[in-house]
Amino acid sequence: MSADIIDGKAFAATIRAKVAAHVARLKVDYEITPGLAVILVGEDPASQVYVRNKGKQTLEVGMNSYEHKLPADTSQEKLLALIADLNADPAVHGILCQLPVPDHIDEATVINAIAPEKDVDGFHISNVGLLATGQKAMVPCTPLGCLMMLRERHGDLSGLEAVVVGRSNIVGKPMAQLLLRDSCTVTIAHSRTRDIQEVCKRADILVAAVGRPEMITGDWVKPGATVIDVGINRIPAPEKGEGKMRLVGDVDFDSASKVAGAITPVPGGVGPMTIAVLLANTLTACCRANDLPEPEGLTA
Ligand code: NDP
């Protein structure tokens, strides 16, 4: 048996197309254009690539993009002043501060300075609480993207056994909350979990968000399960030449895809969904700010 491959690149394109169509309607019907502000402090090369891609895709779906690139020695006070300005700016519906921030800036202070209704990353403490209590929240992009893929695959998730490996604030915990909200029976596994292989083997839905290359092999997977691999790990690829690297997930794709019913590849699975969902969240924030109906199928 060979698993169906869940094509995140294609699915992300359908999300972006839905967002673009809704943005076009907002412009015609209400003369409103959603706006996303992205702040980057410092010159981390990976962060620069992410921010460039976010800006490009924001413009492609017809939204306004506001990029604020600040030098690495920017004071926390100055960063907080910029966030306060963006919070007050009615043209800005979503604000994202690219993480990590330099060491002299306190990450939690920055995240919690963003107005919760503009917190399109869903990391603000209010949004964490709203999600945990089943209220209307801004939901972190990567787990929301995983949820969308799971709903597309299964329709109703109710009653399914879900295991999330990883308990980070940005992936594992919100993923578990979302699955619980969709009435799965949810287990969160982590580095201290006993008999983790047996725990994973119970899962109809197995989400791996660990950061350990190819840790989860086929003999951890229940036959027919849906496996969502969030991991992005760079490992040496001597077959490509000296010093070359390649990307792998937290799941050993070759063995797991022989057992699973469906699986996301790395690259091309969860990765492309994250920015698409960021755009969806910005659209949702804009609709909420203007008391307009939220886009269907793009929220939790
Ligand atoms: P963190 O490092 O914050 O969390 C990793 C989690 O995995 C922790 O809860 C840790 O447990 C658990 N863990 C570590 N080792 C083991 C082990 N041997 N057995 C079981 N559990 C283990 O990572 P993130 O959640 O931020 O990211 C996870 C992965 O997802 C990374 O590869 C990251 O690059 C990727 N990622 C991809 C995104 C995307 O596709 N857009 C977005 C965000 C992340 P404990 O708490 O006990 O230490």
Is 249 part of any domain? Answer: yes
Instruction: Give me the helix-helix angle, 8-30 and 271-289, nearest 10°.
Output: 20
Q: Are residues 102 and 146 in the same domain?
A: no
Q: Annotated catalytic, 54?
A: yes
Q: Are residues 255 and 160 in the same domain?
A: yes
Give Cα separations from 138 to 176, 181, 259, 285 (angstroms): 15, 14, 35, 8
pLDDT for res 1: 66
Cα-to-centroid distance, 20 and ligand 1 (Å): 32
Catalytic residue among 57, 118, 119, 121: 121
Which parts of the chain register pLDDT below 70?
Answer: 1
CATH number of the domain bearing residue 88 = 3.40.50.10860
232 ligand 1 Cβ < 6 A? yes
Alpha helices in the chain (DSSP H): 8-30, 45-60, 76-88, 107-113, 125-132, 141-154, 172-181, 196-201, 253-256, 271-289
Q: Which domain holds residue 121?
A: 23-131+274-289
CA–CA gap between residue 139 and residue 127 (Å, rounded) = 7
140 ligand 1 Cβ < 6 A? no
Q: Are residues 191 and 266 in the same domain?
A: yes
Q: Are residues 112 and 75 in the same domain?
A: yes
Cα-to-centroid distance, 171 and ligand 1 (Å): 8
Is 298 part of any domain? Answer: no
Q: Are residues 150 and 210 in the same domain?
A: yes
170 ligand 1 Cβ < 6 A? yes
Q: Which atom of ligand 1 is nearest to the CA of 209?
A: 28
Q: Are residues 34 and 111 in the same domain?
A: yes
Give Cα separations from 218 to 42, 81, 194, 250 (angstroms): 41, 50, 19, 12
How many structural domains does the chain have?
2
Catalytic residue among 54, 118, 173, 222: 54
Q: Annotated catalytic, 121?
A: yes
CATH number of the domain bearing residue 161 = 3.40.50.720
Residue with CA closest to ligand 1 atom 35: 231
42 ligand 1 Cβ < 6 A? no
Q: Which of 117, 111, 113 is nearest to 93 (CA)?
A: 117
Is 15 part of any domain? Answer: no
Cα-to-centroid distance, 168 and ligand 1 (Å): 6
Q: Are residues 118 and 193 in the same domain?
A: no
Q: Are residues 182 and 234 in the same domain?
A: yes
230 ligand 1 Cβ < 6 A? yes
Q: Are residues 74 and 194 in the same domain?
A: no
Instruction: State whether residue 111 is helix, strand or coil.
Output: helix
Q: Annotated catalytic, 27?
A: no
Is 299 part of any domain? Answer: no
Burial of 195: CB neighbours in 10 Å, binned 0-12, 13-18, 19+: exposed
Catalytic residue among 57, 98, 173, 177: 98
194 ligand 1 Cβ < 6 A? no
Q: Which residues pair with 228 in a beta bridge?
A: 207
277 ligand 1 Cβ < 6 A? no
CA–CA gap between residue 78 and residue 64 (Å, rounded) = 23
CA–CA gap between residue 150 and residue 263 (Å, rounded) = 10
Structure tokens at 252: 């050993």
Give Rg (Cα) of the chain. Answer: 19
